[in-house]
Amino acid sequence: MKILGIDPGTSRIGYGLIETSDGLKLVRHGVIEPKQKSLQEKISRLSVHFRELLAESRPDLAAIEKLFFAKNRKTAMEVAQARGAILSILLENGVPVVEYAPNEVKAQVAGYGLADKVGVAKMVKLILKIDELPGYDDASDALAIAITAANNRRLGA
């Protein structure tokens, strides 16, 4: 089974694809970084790139981070709009979706619901048995989300 983890945002959308056939194995990871100025243009570009990612990766399941209340309402609203576009594309393509809160992902991957990004990235590398995880922490966060989905499926949660 291939699981696509998604860390939604407006400036960067992290993604991480893992396979669960023989343990957990990294397939690919990265970020989608729309450079447009307006939110509408960013979401339009994000949609194009996300559709391409889905066509290339063909996941069996997508796991996406739930929104949490942010101090900056404007940013939270923009992330919610980008997240909505991503969910719509996943559902249009028949990809089942599961959602996890950030503290749930951190607790499952790092053993502590308030773990920092460095701790999460370190545990992602250990779990996936990789030496390096270059790039933005959005991608390691997305992999943590995918790992959480894989663990929950294995445990029947």
Catalytic residue annotation: 7, 65, 138
For residues 137 and 31, give the distance between their C-alpha atoms in angstroms, rounded to a whole number.
Answer: 9
Backbone angles phi, psi at 86, to 5 degrees: -65, -45
65 is in an annotated binding site: yes
Q: Are 100 and 66 in contact (CB under 8 A)?
A: yes
Exposure class string for 18-35: b at 16+ Cβ within 10 A, else e:
bbbeeebebeebbbbbbe
First to last CA, the chain: 16
Single-letter code of the amino acid located at 143: L
7 is in an annotated binding site: yes
Work out the burial of residue 97: count CB atoms within 10 Å of its CB; fewer than 13 is exposed, 13-18 middle, 19 or more buried: middle
Binding-site sequence positions: 7, 65, 138
Binding-site sequence positions for Mg(2+): 7, 65, 138
